[in-house]
Amino acid sequence: MPTGAAIGIDLRSTSLCVGVVKGDRIEVIASDEGNRTTSSGGAYAKCGCLTNEGAKNQSSTKPANTTSDTQRLNMTRRLLKLKKSGKISKTNLQQYGLTIRFTAMHILATVLLRMKKMAETYLGEKVESAVITVPAYFSTSRRQATISAGNLAGLNVPRIISEPTAAVVAYGMSNKLDKQCNLLVFVWGGGSFGVSITSLNKSKFEEKAFAGDAHLGGEAITSRLVNHYVEVFNRTHEGKDLRNNANAISRLRKECEIAKRSLSVALQSNIELGLVFEGITFSAILTRSRLEQLCRDLFERTMDTVKKALSDAKMEKTDVHEVVLMGGSTRIPKVRRMLQEFFEGKEVKSYENTDLAVAHGAALLAAGKTDHGSATLNAPNSTEPIRVPVGVAGDQMESLKQEDEEAKRMMAVKIDLMYYICKIKCELESEEVKQKVPEEHRKSLSAMCDRAIKWTVTEKEATKEDYDKMRTKFVDVASLLMKKGQGSS
């Protein structure tokens, strides 16, 4: 059994959240940017590789360098210039004049590695394992790919759990339900939507039914708004097509996302794009009623999913004791009204912090898998272990296993080297370092970073020893330059 700390990672389509049980409390770890939820994107930029908020922040200026949705990459959907090579999904990112091809697993592993290091910094100890949540509709192969990405990031992944299951665990444990209760959990996040009906009895959870829509996340609402305003712009400016301006589209998506969120509490919101073409600016006002009109069919699809879940569970709506909302998109007033009307006035409840519910559940499950926690609970029967295919001779299996382990070690040292280089590169851009280290030293170290990153991309025959030597050399030189620079300032 692992002796280090265990964490819960809510691996969403559009963001990530990391939780840990400390004593009798569940704590969600803030990112370097101070956010408890952080973008799940990956990017390459001037300061090397960025993950999470860094990727999200540069997406509007360098969309070709940025992936913004690691869960969708893992699901092998089209994202940016997503391609397939055999059975391995790949995406292209532009850097150093090269088109760099990354597997979805590589990008996901890089993001998970950052989550691991972020947790280790917060906890002050090594993180050995993580329970990771995924959408309930993830196939066995997708779950296995997530486990493999976690392994590449240096994490033991004892369990992959569905988002609704984790949400139910969090709600059941926090409310200390001590009697039989049929709970309908309505989970609507940024990338997906699902409804889970679970029977709870103290710490025992039995999932009766699940229904979901892989294409109905909060991003679907944002995309609907983006498409609407693209049409508005194109009608207003004949001969111009906003889709031809990738940066403007990325900015428009940001504005629509902000407007969508603000309309949960306000009746209208402004959308300001500024200059989109030479001499042409764009702005608009979005009202809550207009949003509801534009997205009416999307809201109705959520109710169809609720009906399907009830049918699969062989329940009537009167059999449901509690309706609980989780996920940022459930803040939309129209969604709450529709649910209340469907359940004939029944109170619709929300988890204390709806954005963190799944991470809380994952953290509780992680605590049950490690010496660091005392939580005891039974997860729903629907969560199955990953099955390993059989039918390969013993010696062949051993050979394949050795090759797989070697490939994992290679990927792990490569990711670790790139992460270290990128961290140094980004530190060079900070105001603190700029004040302490002369420009000539910063430029020298920055150029060294560029050469090292390019080497990791172009050197196809490099061995693990080569990567170890490169890292040692880089650490020594970087340390010397930084100390020399600070000493002369």
Tell me what pLDDT residue 382 has.
34
pLDDT tens per residue across span 115-171: 888 889 889 999 999 999 887 777 788 888 888 888 888 899 998 988 888 888 887
Q: Which of the listed ranges 209-213, 287-291, 408-412 does the model predict with the highest average pLDDT?
A: 287-291
Is the pLDDT score of 205 beyond 80? Answer: no
Beta strands per DSSP E along 163-317: 181-188, 193-201, 204-213, 268-277, 280-287
Q: Domain 396-488, what architecture?
A: Up-down Bundle (1.20)
pLDDT tens per residue across span 262-321: 999 999 999 999 888 888 999 999 999 999 999 999 999 999 999 999 999 999 999 999
| % of the chain with per-residue pLDDT over 90 | 25
Is the pLDDT score of 58 beyond 60? Answer: no
CA quadruple 200, 206, 208, 213: dihedral positive or negative? positive
Q: How far apart are CA 6 and CA 362, in angstroms?
A: 10
Tell me what pLDDT residue 17 has.
85
Q: Where do the domains of the chain lie?
A: 5-163+359-367, 396-488
- Ordered alpha helix ranges (H), 59-205: 70-74, 104-123, 140-152, 163-175
Asked: is 5-163+359-367 a CATH 3.30.420.40 domain? The reply is: yes
Task: Extract the tokens encoding 97.
Answer: 């004049």
Q: Which residues contact 234 (CB under 8 A, 6 or more apart)?
A: 240, 241, 242
Counting Cα atoms < 13 Å in the Cβ hemisphere of 439 gives 0
